[in-house]
């Protein structure tokens, strides 16, 4: 009996060992320099491993998987895994990301000519008047009559207690859902997609406002695992359109 059990366990171990493949590779820059600490992600399994100081990595996977390579200062790269990649190491080249140069304000120097210097230093009267009018408009309080209901327009009465008239209010609104998604996924999820931290909420709102179904979520104030997966798929399918000018 013990011998049979031993052979059964050995067979199961052999099958699992054969089913598991590992992908080896190396990440370098455009100048053929090894890049350490590159995050390698298997999109199917969500497994993440960093490259070592020589740019080498090892991650579990199989043919058909897609690997993503993320490193600050470099453009993100994706690589589809084939049978050949499993048999032999793969080489991936990351390209340096373009950096924005801070805008430099060029000020005109004094010429010594009173007419020219006065024109350069003093804005036109029309510009001054426009700025003054805008400042006065912004500081002015809104008239409550602007928000008052129009004649014949139905207004939801305000009541106390459990009695209500009209449509039942949702437990959540888009802001509640936005905050929940950001806290649940974490800022790193969006930063790996090259969405800067100040733009994360704007990007989530973009996904919600471009067809993401959320009626039940807002009604009950609850996000299921299926809803979260739908949101992730929406992010991956619409991020290119969001980044397109």
Kindly report, residue by residue over 210-232, the tens digit of the pLDDT: 889 999 999 999 999 999 999 99
Q: Is residue 167 part of a domain?
A: no
Q: Is residue 104 part of a domain?
A: no
Domain range spanning residue 41? Answer: 21-94
Q: Is residue 112 part of a domain?
A: no
Q: Is residue 161 part of a domain?
A: no
Encoded tokens for 11: 């067979």
CA 166 to chain centre: 37
Structural domain total, the chain: 2
Bigger pLDDT: 245 vs 32: 32
What confidence score (pLDDT) does residue 54 get? Answer: 92
What confidence score (pLDDT) does residue 100 get? Answer: 59
Q: Is residue 210 part of a domain?
A: yes
40-51 pLDDT, tens digit per residue, is 999 999 999 999
Q: Give yes or no for residue 55 having a pLDDT over 90.
A: yes
Among 37, 72, 94, where does a domain finish?
94
Alpha helices for the chain (secondary structure H): 2-19, 83-87, 114-121, 125-139, 174-185, 187-191, 200-209, 215-220, 225-243
Q: Is residue 39 part of a domain?
A: yes
pTM: 0.37
Q: Is residue 123 part of a domain?
A: no
Q: What is the mean pLDDT of residues 199-206?
A: 91
| Kind of pairing between the strands at 56-61 and 66-70 | unpaired
Contact 53, 26 (CB under 8 A): no
Among 94, 121, 142, where does a domain finish?
94
Which CATH number goes with the domain that contains 49? Answer: 2.60.40.1120
Q: What is the mean pLDDT of residues 187-197?
A: 90
What confidence score (pLDDT) does residue 146 get? Answer: 54
Q: Is residue 197 part of a domain?
A: yes
113-158 pLDDT, tens digit per residue, is 666 666 666 666 766 777 777 777 666 665 555 555 665 555 555 4
Q: Give yes or no for residue 206 having a pLDDT over 60.
A: yes
Among 71, 94, 117, where does a domain finish?
94
């Amino acid at each position: 009996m013990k011998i049979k059990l031993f052979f059964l366990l050995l067979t199961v171990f052999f099958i699992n060992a054969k089913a598991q493949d590992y992908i080896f590779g190396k990440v370098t820059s455009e100048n053929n320099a090894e890049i350490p600490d590159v995050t390698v992600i298997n999109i199917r399994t969500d497994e993440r491993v960093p490259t070592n100081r020589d740019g080498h990595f090892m991650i579990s996977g199989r043919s058909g998987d897609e690997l993503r390579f993320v490193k600050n200062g470099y453009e993100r790269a994706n690589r589809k895994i084939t049978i050949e990649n499993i048999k032999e190491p793969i080489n991936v080249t990351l390209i340096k990301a373009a950096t924005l140069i801070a805008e430099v304000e060029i000020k005109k120097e004094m010429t010594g000519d009173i007419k020219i210097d006065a024109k350069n230093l003093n804005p036109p009267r029309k510009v001054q008047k426009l700025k003054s009018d805008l400042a006065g408009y912004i500081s002015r309080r809104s008239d409550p009559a602007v928000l008052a209901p129009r004649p014949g327009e139905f207004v939801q009465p305000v009541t106390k207690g459990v009695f209500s008239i009209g449509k039942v209010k949702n437990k959540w609104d888009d802001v509640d859902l936005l905050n929940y998604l950001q806290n649940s996924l974490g800022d790193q999820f969006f930063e790996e997609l090259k969405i800067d931290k100040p733009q994360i909420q704007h990007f989530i709102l973009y996904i919600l406002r471009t067809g993401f179904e959320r009626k039940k979520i807002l009604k009950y104030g609850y996000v299921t695992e299926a809803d979260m997966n739908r949101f992730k798929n929406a992010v991956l399918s619409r991020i290119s359109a969001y980044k397109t000018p």
